[in-house]
Amino acid sequence: MTFLTAKRDRQKHARRRPKAGYGVRVRVRTLGKTGLRVSELGLGTWGLSGDGYGHVEPEEQERVVQRSIEMGFTLLETADAYGAGRMEQLIGRVTRGNDDVVIVTKGGTDRSTAPARKRFDGEYLRESVERSLRRLGRDRIDVYLLHGPPAAAVASSDGDAIAAMLALKAEGKIAHWGISTGDLTAGRAALRAGAEVIELAYNLVHPSDLHRLAGEIIVAGAGVLARSTLAYGLLSGGWSRDREFGAGDHRAQRWSKIDLAWRVEQVKALRFLLSRDVPTLAAAAVRFVLSNSIVSSAVLGPRSVEQIEDLVRGVGMGPVYLRDAELARLPRALEAVGIES
């Protein structure tokens, strides 16, 4: 699937609908074969939890969730491991009585041990779902994703993890199931086992995983949640080669000094995407994700109300994503700086 084909198809099928109570018009997309209609911008809560980038005040956490709903976000993404369950509790509290919101949560990380470990046996997953239901204050989870399972855990539709998902769905505990992964083999296996939703990293400097799985995703009819849309902040476009990261920030271990300097130079090659309508690289990065027709929702990870408002302002009401000429130029521009598209 080319960038151009993806964009034209998305502009043809994108729809907007009013969000009751706030006077905001929101573009929505279908979450694959689930049939759920979700906002094309979703709120992710890993960064908000304080786990990945450092502490966020509880009051600001709640303001971000509230503000996202006010602006028309109808997809909220979290995990039982985020903030040791506190993000699920927060979302449950803020969305109580709001049936318009689709909640996506993930399970499979056992934090009762040090260090935490991955578990995808049926008994553990069943217990995890019950705990998530209590924290969310709901009788059913809209979408439940296996959180980074190894390929072996989802290699067969007869396996323990898949059997647990199907049983929990039959019991009405979850409405739909899927996988959040960075492993292409695991992603393919889950799609073949019937996963209804897949969450993948997808951004301007890491587009290849989604592009490689596009055929399997289309055949499976799965909904796609695109995470890491700003590549952990790299695509904000404001970093220097010698940027320092504070205590508790995972990026301090993710990139060496040499690697970070190279990545900052890669990002500079993408500045041709900026224009009067696309004022920041962050806005261009999100618009790039939305230009792909198989993406159901771009999951954003703001840590403050200011950040989420800036992103929404930069993306705009559309239906403009990226122009045809820019999409046509992208593959060569990415290749020139060593990015596989």
DSSP of 287-319: HHHHTSTT--EEEE--SSHHHHHHHHHHH-S-S
Residue 254 counted as domain residue:
yes
Percent of the chain with pLDDT over 70: 91
DSSP secondary structure letter of residue 84: G
Q: Where are the beta strands (DSSP E) in the chain?
A: 15-19, 24-30, 37-39, 41-44, 75-77, 102-107, 109-110, 117-118, 141-147, 174-180, 197-201, 223-227, 297-300
Distance CA 28, CA 13 (A): 10
Q: Report whether pLDDT(270) > 60.
A: yes
Return the structure tokens found at 55: 């502490």
Task: Read off the DSSP letter of residue 32.
Answer: G
Tokens of 43: 């709120």
Is there a domain that residue 78 lies in?
A: yes
On the question of pLDDT at 22 being above 80, the answer is no
Task: Give residue 316's pLDDT.
Answer: 76
Residue 227, beta-bridge partner list: 201
Q: What's the CATH code of the domain at 17?
A: 3.20.20.100
- pLDDT > 90 fraction of the chain, expressed in percent and rounded: 81
Residues 313-334, mean pLDDT to the nearest whole number: 84
Is 173 within 8 Å of 141 (Cβ atoms)? yes
Q: pLDDT digit string (tens) for 109-148?
A: 998 888 889 999 999 999 999 999 999 999 999 999 999 9
Does residue 289 belong to any structural domain of this protein?
yes
User: Is 247 inside a domain boundary?
Assistant: yes
Whether residue 59 is contained in a domain is answered as: yes
Using CA atoms, how far residue 64 sits from 19, 33, 317, in Å, is 18, 29, 20
Task: Please report whether residue 341 resides in a domain.
Answer: no
φ/ψ of 74, rounded to 5, equals -115, 0
Q: Bridge partners of 18?
A: 25
Q: How many domains does the chain divide into?
A: 1
Q: Are 8 and 320 in contact (CB under 8 A)?
A: no
Residue 290 located in a structural domain: yes
How high is the pLDDT of residue 9?
A: 52
Q: Is residue 55 part of a domain?
A: yes
Query: By residue range, what is the domain housing residue 268?
Result: 3-336
Residue 16: its pLDDT value, please?
42
Could you report the per-residue pLDDT of 198-222, keeping only the tens digit for each? 999 999 999 999 999 999 999 999 9
Q: Which residue has the tokens 């689709």?
A: 102
Note the pLDDT tens digit of each residue in 294-321.
999 999 999 999 999 999 988 875 556 8
